[in-house]
Each structure stands twice: as structure tokens, then as C-alpha cells.
Chain A
């Protein structure tokens, strides 16, 4: 085993774990701060990707297409929260079913609007090499994007008034309302942010994962697993599970095959749930 091969495998595995984390963070925020599992998360990612794609097609440069996608998904997310999620507070499985149905509507809507095949986005291909192996820059850059996203969410949740209200609302809902926090509005904001993060993920990953109506599903499934295995401490827990499961699956995939990678992911998930039936962070003392 050459050192350069090992470094390549590690780096690209870290990269794919980061991609998974990017796609999952919005879900973790919504689950961690609202206790809601948004089964339409993957479709919001898809909406973000199509928004960015459409923006570039009408001539917007790619860096500007990303904020456009975030704004679009946040707007749609806020509307969905007001119309659907808000009526179902405290009914987690009903929320799941409703967002599942919503996801199907989005999915089918995208098929009708854009067709099932979409053009990719033209991006220059930069490469760099480690020893005898060449790696594309953009996927590796996702490691930094993931770190930036994590830091952003951490700061948002700990240093801003909104973040503190949101954390207060999930930890002690009645107390939060008693001291005058309008938890309904906070929740609308949280859901919109969660969807915005999904939109950001869809847009930033567009050069790697082309927009298709069902693109979200792949990430969403692994994302749900990462979040659910993470348990109550959604943010830190999800970072840990996404890196562990995603990285492990990617390493398995590079030594065996992609099917084995998936099998590793699902089996490791089942094993973790067996060992920690309420999620790995159920006994952690930190709360974010």
C-alpha cells in the first residue's frame, strides 16, 4: 500500500463525508431545534439545485446563483411551515407523512417543469495531484465548505438572539413562551433556515451532483439516518455520524465497491441504533 494512495483515499473519503454533512445539516437544524423530521428535505435540496441552475441559465454568475437558491428555498420553507408544519406541532409522525407527501409533490412538479434529464453546469476542472494520483479540487474544497457551514450554524445558534430563542423554545417550550418568546415565529424561522441550508447544499454541490428531480433522495436517506442515529444533540451528533458513517462508507467503497459502501452505511447504522436505541448523543451532556 503506497502512502500516496492512502492519502488520496483518506482525502476523498473525507470529502464525500463532508458532502454528506453539507446535505444533512439543514435536516439536523430542523430536527434539533424543532423536533421535526422533514422528509421533504431532499426535495428542498433539489429545489436549491434547480434554482441555482435556472439562475445561471438566465445569466447570473454561479457565486450569485447560490444566494438566490438559498433565498428561494427559505421562502418556500417559510410558506410550508406556515401552511403545514405549524398545524402539526407535536405530531411528529403526522409531520413526517405530510412532508413526505409534499416531497412527492415537489419531485413530480420538478419532473413536469424540468424533465428528468438536466444539463450540467459548466465549471472549470482544476486538479491537483498527490504522488501518482490526481484529484479534482472542487470536491476537496467541500471539506472547507462543511467546516464553514458548521461554524456558521454554531455562531448563529449561540451568539445571536434568534439562536438563543430557538434553543430556549426547544428545551423548555412553556418557559420560553412564558418569558415572551413567540415560539411559533421562531419555528417558522428555524424551518426556513433548515430549508435554506438544504438549498445552499443543492446549489454548492451542483458542480458535483447535477440537478435531477430525484437527486435529493440519495442524500436525504443517508441524511435521515445520520440525524436519527445522532439523536437529541443534533448538530454535534450529526457532524460525528455524518463523518463517521459517510467516511466509513466511502473508504469501504474505494476498497471494495459502491454497493458495499452503501451496505456498510446501512449496517453500521443498524448497529449503532442497536447499541444506542435513542441515538448516540442521548447521554451527552452538551445540548447543541
Chain B
């Protein structure tokens, strides 16, 4: 009995894991089999719902996965539609078969436009709000411009607000006398196209590319600190979403046989986030569900396609959705389903102690040296950073070389973390230079510095909370190895060293603060850095863990350059390294810990007495 129950749970878990594959497949089969006997008018209207679902999918890719609320999806949709339609109008009379002309051209056109807009947004590292507003502007700019835009392309006549008519329908046969499909055939063709796009998107979002897209959404800074050129990934993802929108636009053009500038209107743009929110943000298939629900609702209300009072209702629906149903229908369903599944995060509670095995660590580090080259030195020359009237880094000149650990200490606000952030590029220095060996990296972007061998753990542990411990380490290892199998190997070794084998399937957000610190350090180790910067690694750790950490840092220092910012003086003492005291952004004193402990000026700074304050 018990084994049967376990088997049932396993099945249930498996079904949950593959729900995005199983249910859409069933839905596709159902839709295709219904296409034969559906009422033609209903089939005609339902085709538009599927197209809107496809458009919603394009938004979910960039918003639910990529993290950018783009209000330009209808722009790519409209432009793709116009472009695909112009191609179809010109080629259909002689060749028939509209899909193979219109869809790829619309996809490419949509992708190019989205990539151009994405380039502006992501390469200038625009703020989130600025990006959203710019995308909205883009749509509205098209709305204004297309009202008066007139152009004849071959036999296609784009007539401003008169629109573009005579678009051929869905034609599958070849040759000049191929027949266009009836409503039911067009419905089936649209379902088939949408299913292909959906399953490809699902595959893409589960691939290494998709994992990166997820990581960027969860913590963009950390992803860049792993050495990924996030801007390229974001532009590519945006371009892909533009391609989907373009395909949807071309299908819409073939379905409606007519396009006009209202495709760029606010009402049209409004619908897309509604579809996604109804179905469930980030679920991919939710967009179709949302489009079906909204389309069905307005059909039932008697409006057919959106218009008239429907706008009023949809506006109110959007408000209510945002207020009350944040994760949409599929999100709510998933939450209920998970209640009946064993919680993978249970394992977080019985984590083993971290035990640094120096032999294993030495092995890993030698391996890293073999792959990434010898340790590098880090030096700053008059590095200077200013925020308004505050100068957290004031002309700091210091060399850090491999061999012994360096500790940076100083009272709160001394500029320790700011100094590390300036070294890694999170802060851009206003003056001075930063060198990695002889390589001037003062102006290099973060990911470039990481490529050249920097590894950083910031003060607050940065882990990707929504993905598992193993995936966290894997994505770090993949940044360096660029090879799935090698990344598996590296992340498995680090996982073992951290004693987290039992927690590999736990979500990183379920870990305790100290465990997250270890995971973050583990991710840095996966990068095989040549210079390691650790900001308060001991915070939140037990005494035993701090001892292990000290061992780790000392072993690391034999193979790389290590700089540690720490408040825990006992920990700093056990490092037996070089200690630098920062005060008000400047180098204040240095030496070994015992000399500094005997130094009255240092005590003054720490205890806030005397003339040095």
C-alpha cells in the first residue's frame, strides 16, 4: 500500500513538473479535433483568441520571465502584421501559401524592431520605469505616425488611417489557384502555429538561455557578478518576444484580411497585460488561457471582438486583477496543487554542518588555476569615489598580491564596502585607476572584470532565491565553463564541499542566512576567481562555521589574491594576514593585527575617542 502511495505521489509530482507540456498538448489535440465540427462563426472568433494568446505569450516572455513590463508588444505585433501582410499580398497571387512568407518575415521584422528598442533600453542600462515608459511611447508614436503614413509596396497599399486591405487569408496550398482555408481550417492552422511557438518557447525558457533570463529577473546584479553579459541576454530575449509578437501580428492580418492603425492603440495595448495577468504571469501557457477567458467573456457579453462597453469592463477587470489575483488563474491553481505535494524545502531544516576539506579545496583550486591561469594581483591607484558631499573612497592606493589574506577593517562608514564595490565596478570611480595585474580595468563593466578573474561576495548574501541550491551553483559554474557537463561537475564538487548534498533541491530562499552566505561563497568559488573579494562573509555564521571559513580563506589565499572585509576581530586574527584600517575613506593604518591592537590611533577611531574622530 505504502509503496503504491509513494508511487502515486511520484506520478503526481512528475505531472506537476511537466504540467506545462501535458496540458497544452491535450488542449492542442482537443482544439484540433474540435476544429472539424465547430460552428464556423465561433471558429472564426476563436481564432482571434488564439492569436491574442500568442501575443500574450510574447509579453510573458519579456515580462514574466525577463522582468521588463513592455508596453510595446502591440507595436511589434502591428509592425509584424503590416510587414507580413505586405509580403503576403505581393506573393500570394503567384505562389499561394501565405504562411511560409508572412510568418518568417513578420517574425524577423518584429525581432529586429524589438532588438533595436531593446538595444537602447538595455545597453544604456535604463531604469525599469524609464524602460516601460519608453516602450509605451514607442507604441503611441507608431499610433500617431501611422495615421498619416501612406506607402505603396508593389500591389499593397498602406493608406494611413484607411488601413491596409486585400490581405489574403490563410492559404496552405501552393500555386496561383490554391484555395484559402475556411474559418475552421484557419482555426486549425492558427492553433497549430501557436502550439509550435508555445512548445518552442517552453523549450527555450528551460534551456540554458532561459535559466539565464530567469536569473536576470531574480537578481540582475548577481547575474552580472557571475560574469554574464546581461545586456546581450536581455536584448536577445526582447528580440525573441518581438518575433513572437510579429508572428501573432501576421496571423492576425491573415485572419482579419485588413489592418489599420488602431492596432497600435491604447485599447489594444491594454489587453495584452490583461491576458497575461488572468492566466498567470510567467507561466507561458497562462497567456492563452487568459485570452480564451477574456475573449470568451466578451463573446458571451455579446460584443464579439473588443469594443464599446467591453473596454469599460476590461479596464475594471485589470484593476481588480492587479488588486486581488496577483498570480492569475494558473498561479492560484499551482499554489493549491503544491499543498498536496511533498515540500522540497523541508530538507533545508536538516542541513549538515559545513566541513571544509582542505585537500578537496586544494584540488578544486589547482583545477581552477589550470583552467583560469595563475593568481592575479589587484591594485588601486588613488581610487576616488564621491556621493554628493560624502567621499567613501578617498584616494586609496593599495596593492593586494597572492600569498596571504588581506583584511580590511574600520568602523561603520569607513568606506570598506564602497572600496570593494569600486574595485568590482558596482561603483564607478571618479578618479584614479584600478589594475588587475597590469590590466587597467577602471572603466570595464562588471561582467568584464569577472571574466578577467574577479570574484565577489557582497555584504548581503546574493543568491537566486527562486531556484534550487544546485541550480545556483550550476549557473555560476556555467558562467566560467560555458559547458553544461563541466558546470555539472564543478557545481557538484562545490556542493559536496559545502555539505549541502541533501539540500541540492531546496530553493535558495528557504536557506538560513548563514547557509546563504555559504552558498554565495560557493558560487564565487565556482567562478575560479583569480582575485577574491569577500564582504563580511562571517556575518550570520556560527562559531564552528567561522572557523571553517577562516580555513577556507587561508587556503584560498595560497592560490589566489584574497581581500576580506570583516568586523569580527577574532576572525580577522585567525586569518594571520595583512590588515588595513580604513577611516573616512582613507587608508589609516596597516600591519598585522597585534601591532594594530597596540596602536592608540586605531583604538581611538574604533572607540570614538580622541582627536582622530
Contacts and interface: CB of A to CB of B under 8 A. Distances in A.
A151 to B, nearest CB: 27
B155 interface: no
Given A259-B148, A266-B137, A269-B137, A108 B312 contact: yes
Interface string A140-173: 0000000000000000000000000000000000
B318 A98 contact: yes
A277 B144 contact: no
Given A94-B322, A97-B273, A273 B316 contact: no
Main secondary structure on B side of the interface with A: helix
Interface stretch (A15-23, A46-54, A99-107, A193-201): A99-107
A101 B130 contact: no
Interface string B253-281: 00000000000001100100100010000
A191 interface: no
A104 B144 contact: no
B316 A224 contact: no
A107 B270 CA distance: 13
Contacts of B137: 221, 224-225, 266, 269
Contacts of A112: 309, 312
B341 interface: no
A228 interface: yes
Interface string B141-162: 1001100100000000000000
Contacts of B445: none
Contact of B323 (A87, A92, A259, A277): A87
Contact of A88 (B120, B133, B323): B323
Interface in A78-110: 84, 87-88, 92-94, 96-98, 100-105, 107-109
Nearest to B67: A93
Nearest to B309: A108
B545 to A, nearest CB: 31
B372 to A, nearest CB: 32
Central interface residue in B125, B127, B148, B322, by most chain A CB within 10 Å: B322
A104 B125 contact: no
Contacts of B125: 277
Contact of A104 (B130, B314, B322, B323): B314
Contact of B141 (A37, A262, A277): A262
Interface string A47-69: 00000000000000000000000
A130 interface: no
A270 interface: yes
Contact of B316 (A88, A101, A229): A101
B205 interface: no
A240 interface: no
Contacts of B132: 93, 96
Interface in B275-325: 277, 309, 311-312, 314-319, 322-323
Interface in A249-283: 259, 262-263, 266, 269-270, 273-275, 277-279
A217 B266 contact: yes
A92 B129 contact: yes
A266 B323 contact: no
Contacts of B315: 100-105, 107-108
B323 A98 contact: yes
Contacts of B233: none
B136 A224 contact: yes
A262 B144 contact: yes
Contacts of B141: 262-263, 266
B164 to A, nearest CB: 20
B134 interface: yes
Contacts of B127: 277-279
Nearest to B122: A277
B124 A97 contact: no
Central interface residue in B128, B129, B140, by most chain A CB within 10 Å: B129
Given A93-B69, A266-B137, A278-B127, A98 B148 contact: no
A100 B323 contact: no
Given A98-B322, A224-B136, A273 B270 contact: no
A50 B137 CA distance: 26
A142 to B, nearest CB: 23
A259 B266 CA distance: 19
A277 B312 contact: no
A266 to B, nearest CB: 5
Nearest to B314: A104
B136 A105 contact: no
B318 A101 contact: yes
Given A84-B319, A269-B137, A104 B120 contact: no
Contacts of A103: 315
A98 B316 CA distance: 9
A104 B270 contact: yes
Nearest to B147: A259
A167 B202 CA distance: 46
Interface string A214-239: 00010001001100110000000000
B129 A228 contact: yes
B610 interface: no
Contact of A97 (B133, B148, B314, B318): B318
Which 7 A-B pairs have CB atoms at the shortest separation, nearest pair first? A101-B318, A104-B315, A105-B315, A108-B312, A101-B319, A277-B126, A101-B315
Interface of A: 37, 84, 87-88, 92-94, 96-98, 100-105, 107-109, 112, 217, 221, 224-225, 228-229, 259, 262-263, 266, 269-270, 273-275, 277-279, 285
17 contacts: A97-B69, A101-B270, A101-B314, A104-B311, A104-B314, A104-B315, A108-B315, A112-B309, A224-B133, A225-B137, A262-B141, A266-B137, A269-B134, A273-B126, A274-B120, A274-B124, A278-B126
Given A103-B315, A224-B137, A225-B133, 4 more contacts: A93-B132, A94-B326, A277-B126, A278-B126
